[in-house]
């Protein structure tokens, strides 16, 4: 017999006091900290506790008693259900204020090192349609909102089991919210996705069952470059020839309807997950890649390539990295976690050589191609685990760097990597972070030999809690 969840009473007239992690807000009642999504500091609301632990609880707002002066009307019809863009109900200026506070709080609370004044955050000029890549999941039974459920007969499978293409509901791998309009990408993205959905419904193409893995349509990825080039990759599970024929007719319909698409691709994936790194991508029409441009640099982007999803703001970020690095023509630069070598190419023309290291071999292959494409011949790229690659033998072979640029994943740098950086004693380090908490942890470790000279927040993702930070460190003088 399953355990019944405890039914907690409604907490009335609770004032939301601040922002917390993961885009949620927070309030406190006596010694109990309560986390609440989709509210704004200053809101007064009735809260329903969903889960309670010893010192904290998670709740949802069931009634807004009095809105915060900082609350605005979200512009997306899917706000509050989709799980993305959690800060749409707050002015962008306030979002930037809270993001700066997030950086400051983490650095002061965790790093506990001497800090300069944090530079004013660089906001994004585009606060909608700023993403160059979106991935939509397919499902044979989409998530229905409370309003939709109230308007159907839930005992009727035809009404209850409706397919959809959209985003996963937070915390549920098998629940997809059908998206009519997403504001994160140029509207051509909505037109392409909605066409695929309508064609598939009209022609009885089966959507994947995310539990049983039966069905055909799995995933749609759309990339839109600032150059105007568009890539569409449709992922399908094909069990027999008749399904393949149906699927090819869908692809032809996409090609016939959208001549703007410069790279129309598909992948047959009969596995039990949507990862495609080990699968062959087939070009249905056009080229097998698109090209993105930042300043005078061009970058080849394939369906498996990693590239910052906000191109214009990425250019701002990399320019700030180059400014902080202040490389000279005789400098050797190490670019750790180089990805596809974008930062490496931003600084390569100003220095003697850049050595890039990255865990993902496909990214290194792209880095080499992009360097060649941009006629940059003073870069070397190596694939491997950073803590295994960045060793004393490696440095003895390729030289001690004058500048280290490091752009690790959200988990930050492995302690072995930090220890090696401390051993190297490069005069300058430029640390690019997408997680102020792990940045703060690493700064505390680097404090043994480095001062923090500059801290520059850059907002890459408006309406979300995510923030990038560029930090300049200099070697302490003995």
Active-site residues, by number, are 434
What the block records as the tokens of 431 is 């640390």
Q: In degrees, to the nearest 5, what angle opens at C-alpha 218 toward C-alphas 310 and 158?
A: 120
Query: At 159, is the secondary structure helix, strand, or coil?
Result: helix
Q: In degrees, to the nearest 5, what angle opens at C-alpha 348 toward C-alphas 342 and 351?
A: 150
32 φ, ψ (degrees, to nearest 5): -95, 120
Report the relative pairing of strands 379-383 and 297-301 from DSSP bridges. Answer: unpaired
Cα 333 to Cα 402: distance, rounded to the nearest angstrom: 6
Cα 463 to Cα 92: distance, rounded to the nearest angstrom: 7
Is 451 within 8 Å of 471 (Cβ atoms)?
Answer: no
Is 201 within 8 Å of 247 (Cβ atoms)?
Answer: no
Tokens 């011949």 sit on residue: 377
Beta-ladder partners of 429: 404, 473
Residue 70, classified by CB atoms within 10 Å of its CB into exposed (0-12), middle (13-18) or buried (19+), is: middle
Counting runs of H as helices and runs of E as strands, what totals does the chain give? 12, 22
259 φ, ψ (degrees, to nearest 5): -75, -5
Dihedral angle at the C-alpha atoms of 101, 102, 108, 112, nearest 10 degrees? -160
| Selection from 98, 15, 11 nearest residue 59 by Cα | 11
């Amino acid at each position: 017999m399953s355990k019944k969840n405890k039914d907690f009473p409604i907490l009335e007239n609770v004032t939301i006091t601040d922002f917390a992690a993961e885009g949620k807000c927070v309030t406190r009642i006596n010694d109990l900290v309560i986390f609440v999504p989709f509210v704004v500091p200053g809101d007064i609301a009735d809260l329903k506790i969903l889960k309670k632990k010893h010192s904290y609880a998670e709740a949802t707002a069931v009634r807004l008693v009095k809105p915060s002066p900082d609350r605005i009307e979200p512009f997306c019809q899917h706000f509050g259900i989709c799980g993305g863009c959690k800060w749409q109900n707050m002015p962008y200026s306030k979002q930037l204020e809270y993001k700066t506070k997030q950086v400051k709080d983490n650095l002061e609370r965790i790093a506990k090192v001497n800090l300069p004044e944090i530079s004013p955050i660089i906001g994004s000029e585009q606060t909608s349609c700023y993403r160059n890549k979106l991935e939509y999941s397919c499902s044979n039974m989409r998530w229905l909102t409370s309003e939709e459920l109230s308007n159907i007969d839930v005992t009727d499978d035809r009404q209850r089991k409706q397919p959809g293409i959209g985003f996963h509901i937070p915390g549920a791998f098998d629940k997809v919210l059908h998206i009519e309009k997403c504001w994160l990408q140029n509207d051509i993205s909505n037109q392409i996705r909605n066409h695929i959905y309508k064609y598939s419904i009209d022609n009885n193409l089966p959507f994947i069952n995310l539990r049983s893995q039966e069905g055909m349509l799995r995933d749609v990825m759309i990339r839109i470059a600032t150059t105007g080039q568009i890539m569409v990759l449709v992922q399908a599970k094909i069990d027999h020839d008749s399904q393949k024929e149906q699927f090819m007719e869908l692809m032809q319909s996409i090609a016939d309807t959208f001549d703007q698409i410069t790279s129309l691709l598909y992948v047959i994936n009969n596995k039990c997950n949507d990862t495609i790194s080990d699968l062959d991508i087939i070009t249905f029409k056009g080229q097998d890649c698109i090209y993105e441009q930042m300043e005078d640099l061009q970058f080849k982007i394939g369906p498996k390539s990693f590239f910052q999803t906000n191109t214009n703001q990425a250019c701002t970020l990399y320019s700030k990295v180059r400014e902080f690095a202040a490389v000279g023509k005789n400098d050797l630069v190490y670019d750790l976690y180089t990805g596809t070598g974008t930062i490496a190419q931003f600084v390569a023309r100003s220095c003697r050589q850049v050595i890039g290291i990255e865990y993902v071999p496909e990214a290194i292959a792209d880095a080499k191609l992009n360097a060649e494409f941009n006629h940059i011949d003073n870069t070397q790229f190596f694939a491997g685990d950073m803590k295994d690659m960045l060793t004393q033998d490696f440095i003895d072979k390729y030289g001690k760097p004058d500048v280290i640029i490091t752009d690790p994943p959200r988990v930050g740098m492995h302690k072995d990597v930090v220890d090696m950086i401390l051993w190297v004693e490069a005069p300058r380090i430029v640390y690019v972070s997408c997680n102020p908490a792990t940045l703060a942890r690493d700064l505390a470790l680097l404090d043994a030999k480095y001062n923090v000279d500059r801290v520059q927040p850059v907002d890459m993702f408006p309406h979300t809690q995510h923030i990038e930070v560029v930090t300049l460190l200099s070697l302490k003088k003995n």
